[in-house]
């Protein structure tokens, strides 16, 4: 294609993986473009780090402000950085389209790095669609970007390290938490203990977890362990009014106007799916992830993946992968990369950082009710399709997720399956008596984000100065 602005490397996502990659790429002399749909670089963990909003820095804690140095690295890098840029299409012949400020642009690349991060695992349970129920991550985004805390009374329910972190951040912010309803299944503890070797290697993470639990304990917030049967109930106005759950033989009910839920994070695979990259089911993490070579290359020779979109590893892993994968790209483009000894020590650091993952993955495997919901629980939020309906489709001859679209419109709404895809796969596998790898996933089509006709029309007009803005 002639006339298109060409880059050696286009990086999608300016989180820790993308920012670290950008620095490496610019130091190696690659002509690089980095795009992110957010107004400012930082990604999820360091969201809004360029303009921290909270006066009290102790609320988010030092792990947040660590992001300032990555951001400084990005600012010094010589490359093109476009914010508010949503990538909605990538073609097989190495071009991609993105919208920014109401206009669409198409650019070409030699290599593409997907560093699009994670999303929180969809948590279907009765009442999860009620206004007032939102994810822990959503509450954290409001805190980091707007300095807002949820309307009280507030209950936090779910499982995972991020839940503990966000609970601590809200408590430090002075929010009164009625209760933390921890749903980590009892059986997980025994299974996780088998992975204690890795956990000891990753003792720093373990220590952080214990500190958070201590902080919660000291705050006096009620902590309900091993809770099951989570259910959110509406009031007469249709908004959230209370949450109920079982702990042992007792049924509890707490009044609340906000319920924050969380069951870990899963790779954001939307773009890779639409491109048609190969993916595989991870039985331990109960999610899909892209199939990658050790060097970070996907099933397309010019498309690489790093950070949480490659498989959940957290921020430090994302940063290291951003560097190692970019080094591989630099070498494939015929330039001089890092010394072998440097790469070796990065690889070792990566292995050390990943050592605790099996322990965490087994410990925080979600309760079955969230992975394989039953009854009237809504699975597809957009089209309001229940678990019973999806399960019933198998009796009507439905054997795969793409057929459910035709049967009941699940996955056809605006979120394109981001909230129901993994659940639909799990339910069909359950009913068919097979496993998720065999059942497969929705076919995702471009555009992966809504594009206006105006934005599309702008594609055919060359930019005024012949370059992208």
Partner 1 sequence: MAADFSFNRLPCNERAEVEITIEGHKVIALEGETVAAAVMHSGLRPTRTTAVSGTGRAPYCMMGVCFECLMNIDGKPNTQACMTEVSEGMVITVQQGAREIGGDRL
Ligand X SMILES: Cc1cc2nc3c(=O)[nH]c(=O)nc-3n(C[C@H](O)[C@H](O)[C@H](O)COP(=O)(O)OP(=O)(O)OC[C@H]3O[C@@H](n4cnc5c(N)ncnc54)[C@H](O)[C@@H]3O)c2cc1C
Least distance (Å) between residue 451 CB and partner 1: 6
In the bound complex, what is the minimum distance in angstroms from residue 443's beta carbon to ligand X? 18
Distance (Å, whole) CA 435 – CA 263 = 21
Beta strands per DSSP E along 150-294: 154-159, 177-182, 223-224, 228-234, 240-247, 250-255, 258-263, 265-267, 279-282, 287-290
Q: How far apart are CA 357 and CA 437, in angstroms?
A: 22
Identify the residue among 239, 295, 345, 467 touching partner 1 (CB under 8 A). 239
Beta strands in 265-335 (DSSP E): 265-267, 279-282, 287-290, 303-305
Question: Can you tell me whether residue 326 is helix, strand or coil?
Answer: helix
Q: Binding to partner 1 (CB under 8 A): which residues in 440-459?
A: 447, 449-454, 456
Looking from the CA of 116 toward its CB, the CA atoms found within 13 Å total: 23
One of 45, 330, 371, 424 touching ligand X (CB under 6 A): 45
The yes or no reply on residue 298 touching ligand X (CB under 6 A) is: no
Q: Cβ of residue 58: shortest distance to partner 1, in angstroms?
A: 12
Q: Minimum distance from CB of 360 to ligand X (Å)? A: 12
Residue 115 interacting with ligand X (CB under 6 A): yes
* Residue list 240-269, contact with ligand X (CB under 6 A): 265, 268
For residue 80, what is the enclosing H or E element? strand 80-82
Query: Which positions from 378 to 417 touch ligand X by CB under 6 A, shown as an x/- string?
Result: ----------------------------------------
For 17, phi then psi, to 5°, come to: -65, -50
Answer yes or no: are the C-beta atoms of 90 and 112 closer than 8 Å.
yes
Nearer to ligand X, 62 or 340 (CB): 62
Residue 219 token pair: 């705050």
Query: Coil, helix or strand for 403?
Result: helix
Pairing of strands 228-234, 303-305: unpaired
Q: What minimum distance in Å lies between the beta carbon of 421 and ligand X?
A: 16
Residues binding partner 1 (CB under 8 A): 37, 39, 44, 51-56, 59, 86, 119-120, 129, 131-135, 137-138, 141-143, 145-151, 173-174, 238-239, 257, 268, 381-384, 413-415, 418-419, 447, 449-454, 456
Residue ranges in contact with ligand X by CB under 6 A: 12-18, 35-38, 43-45, 86-87, 115-120, 137, 140-141, 162, 165, 265, 268, 271, 307-309, 314-315, 318
């Amino acid at each position: 294609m002639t006339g298109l602005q060409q880059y050696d490397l286009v990086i999608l996502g300016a989180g820790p993986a993308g920012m670290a990659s950008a620095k490496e790429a610019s130091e190696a002399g690659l002509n690089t473009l980095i795009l992110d749909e957010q107004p400012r670089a930082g990604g999820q963990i360091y969201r809004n780090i360029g303009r921290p909003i909270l006066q009290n820095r102790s609320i988010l804690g030092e792990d947040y402000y660590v992001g300032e140095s990555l951001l400084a690295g990005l600012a010094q890098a010589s490359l093109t950085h476009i914010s508010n840029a949503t990538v909605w299409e990538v073609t097989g012949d190495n071009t991609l389209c993105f919208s920014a400020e109401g206009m669409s642009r198409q650019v070409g690349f030699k290599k593409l790095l997907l560093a699009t991060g994670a999303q929180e695992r969809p948590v279907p349970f009765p009442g999860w669609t009620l206004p007032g129920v939102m994810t822990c991550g959503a509450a954290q985004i409001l805190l980091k970007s707007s300095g807002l805390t949820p309307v009280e009374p507030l209950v936090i329910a779910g499982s995972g390290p991020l839940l503990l972190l966000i609970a601590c951040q809200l408590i430090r912010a002075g929010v009164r938490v009625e209760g933390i309803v921890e749903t980590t299944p009892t059986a997980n503890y025994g299974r996780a203990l088998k992975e204690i070797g890795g956990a000891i290697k990753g003792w720093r993470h373990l220590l952080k977890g214990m500190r958070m639990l201590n902080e919660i304990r000291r705050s006096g917030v009620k902590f309900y362990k091993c809770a099951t049967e989570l259910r959110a109930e509406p009031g007469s106005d249709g908004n959230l009014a209370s949450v109920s759950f079982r702990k042992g033989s007792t049924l509890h009910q707490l009044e609340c106007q906000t319920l924050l839920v969380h069951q870990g994070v899963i790779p954001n695979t939307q773009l890779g799916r639409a491109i048609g990259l190969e993916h595989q089911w991870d039985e331990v993490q109960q999610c899909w992830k892209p199939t990658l070579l050790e060097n970070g290359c996907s099933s397309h020779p010019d498309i690489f993946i790093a950070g949480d979109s490659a498989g959940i590893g957290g921020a430090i892993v994302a940063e290291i992968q951003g560097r190692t994968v970019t080094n591989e790209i630099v070498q494939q483009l015929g330039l001089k990369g890092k010394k072998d000894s440097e790469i070796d020590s990065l690889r070792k650091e990566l292995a050390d950082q990943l050592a605790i993952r099996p322990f965490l993955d087994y410990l925080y495997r979600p309760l079955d009710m969230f992975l394989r919901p039953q009854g009237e629980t809504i699975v597809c939020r957009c089209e309001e399709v229940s678990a019973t309906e999806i399960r019933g489709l198998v009796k009507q001859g439905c054997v795969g997720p793409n057929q459910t679209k035709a049967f009941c419109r699940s996955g056809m709404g605006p979120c394109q399956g981001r909230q129901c895809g993994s659940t639909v796969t799990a339910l069909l596998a359950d009913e068919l008596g097979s496993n998720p790898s065999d059942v497969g996933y929705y076919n995702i089509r471009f555009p992966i984000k809504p594009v206006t006709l105006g934005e599309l029309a702008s594609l055919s007009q060359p930019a005024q100065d012949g370059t992208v803005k």
